[in-house]
Amino acid sequence: MRPTPTRILFSVLAIVSGTIGAITSQPVFFLVAVMAAALLASNVAATRRPLIRALGRFRSQRVQVLVWGSPPPDLSDTILVLTSVNVIGAGTHLFFQTASGRSSHLKIAQLTDSTIAPDSVVIGSARYVQWNGAKLRTTPGAPAVVVSLVESPTGDRPKS
């Protein structure tokens, strides 16, 4: 299942809540509309960050992911396809598809100290990292997350 982009969700929530608030004159719907609009604005502003743009270039490409210096748990193959990059507040959410077609979710909370290269993104530290909802233990000295492009089966480097 492909995740619905947060911009669409926040836009629909803001419009529907604002409309229901106008029809029913209930202030709670206006409050929900304002909150959804604020989250939408935060998401739009975050996509202008170089880190998010760099990760977005890897979308639909084969990548290798390391979390605290090791592959994510419960993976038979460490090569994944990045399907989506979303930002909600201080959290960055990466969605992947495995070779078997299973979807996986990586959440990086309050990331700092990132390094961007043409074929990789290294996030040096984060408050915490979750893989499919499970918080992962930190490894001292290891970067929080490394996402690297890998060569295609034909040996060609993917184009970004």
Residue 159 pLDDT > 70, yes or no? no
pLDDT digits (tens, 9 = 90+) for 141-156: 999 999 999 876 555 5
Confidence (pLDDT) at 154: 56
pLDDT digits (tens, 9 = 90+) for 22-49: 999 999 999 999 988 888 777 666 555 7
Quick check: pTM over 0.85?
no
Q: Which residues pair with 97 in a beta bridge?
A: 81, 103
What is the spatial distance between Cα 75 and Cα 158, in angstroms, rounded to a whole number?
Answer: 22
18, burial (CB in 10 Å: exposed 0-12, middle 13-18, buried 19+): middle
Dihedral sign from CA coordinates of 149, 153, 159, 160:
negative
